[in-house]
Amino acid sequence: MGFTGISKLVTSNVGKSTNILWHDCPIGQTERQKLINQKGCVVWITGLSGSGKSTLACALSRELHSRGHLTYVLDGDNLRHGLNRDLSFKAEDRAENIRRVGEVAKLFADAGLICIASLISPYRSDRSACRNLLPKSSFIEVFLNAPIEVCEGRDPKGLYKLARAGKIKGFTGVDDPYEPPSDCEIVIQCKIGDCPSPQSMADQVVSYLEANGFLHD
């Protein structure tokens, strides 16, 4: 369908972009969700390094896949291999890292997928900004509440050791703060000597998704 007149399209400026126009498409989120019989949402997993975020993300994705649901995992480290490879771990770059992931997660949710984002995301303000990109019920914050002793004992990447030796500066939980969620949807508690298995953690999130209608259109 072409233009039927010479009416002027109204453009706008957004951020550093000028003269841009939002284009709507007749196929939207509702139609996409009906096609795959699920509701798009973002499961945002936050916690200290070594708390088990990536492990939970993969276990959750595997469990949902086995039930016939379409998911996609956005892992913080993986994204720094591509989308966010130009960002450092300075405060302003960490904020931009979370902003970009939030925008991408929003697109996946709009496509009807269950997007699982796994990032330390230490600051409440950054996580809140991502939450505000979506309808509130579609942003599910999962806090992996693991003591730093547990995380440091695992230290899968050897980062705590480097941070304690002063070779890494601004490391979350050592010389940079982690701000735990104050109103998240799901808390998964891990205690010294008593941490839930990946499957039980995934089951806890799946139960929430089922109870809140995300696993059917």
Q: What are the boundaries of each domain within the chain?
A: 39-211
Summarize the confidence of residues 191-213 as an average pLDDT: 96
What is the three-state SS of 125-178? Answer: HHHHHHHCCCCHHHEEEEEEECCHHHHHHHCCCCHHHHHHCCCCCCCECCCECC
Q: Which CATH superfamily is domain 39-211 in?
A: P-loop containing nucleotide triphosphate hydrolases (3.40.50.300)
Residues 6+ apart with CB under 8 A from 10: 21
- Using one digit for the tens of pLDDT, what is the confidence trace for 151-162? 999 998 999 999
Give the angle subtended at the CA of 133 by the CAs of 64 and 63, to the nearest 5°: 5
Residue 29, φ and ψ in degrees, nearest 5? -60, -40
Residue 100 has pLDDT above 50, yes or no: yes
**Res 217: pLDDT:** 66
Summarize the confidence of residues 166-170 as an average pLDDT: 93
- Using one digit for the tens of pLDDT, what is the confidence trace for 105-119? 999 999 999 999 999
**Res 11: pLDDT:** 78
**Res 16: pLDDT:** 74
Active site positions, annotated:
121
**Res 7: pLDDT:** 56
- Chain centre to alpha carbon of residue 169: 24
Rounded CA separation 95/72 (Å): 22
Residue 20, φ and ψ in degrees, nearest 5? -110, 160
Minimum mean pLDDT range among 6-20, 21-35, 171-185: 6-20
* pTM to 2 decimal places: 0.89
Cβ 59 vs Cβ 198: under 8 Å:
yes
Residue 186 has pLDDT above 80, yes or no: yes
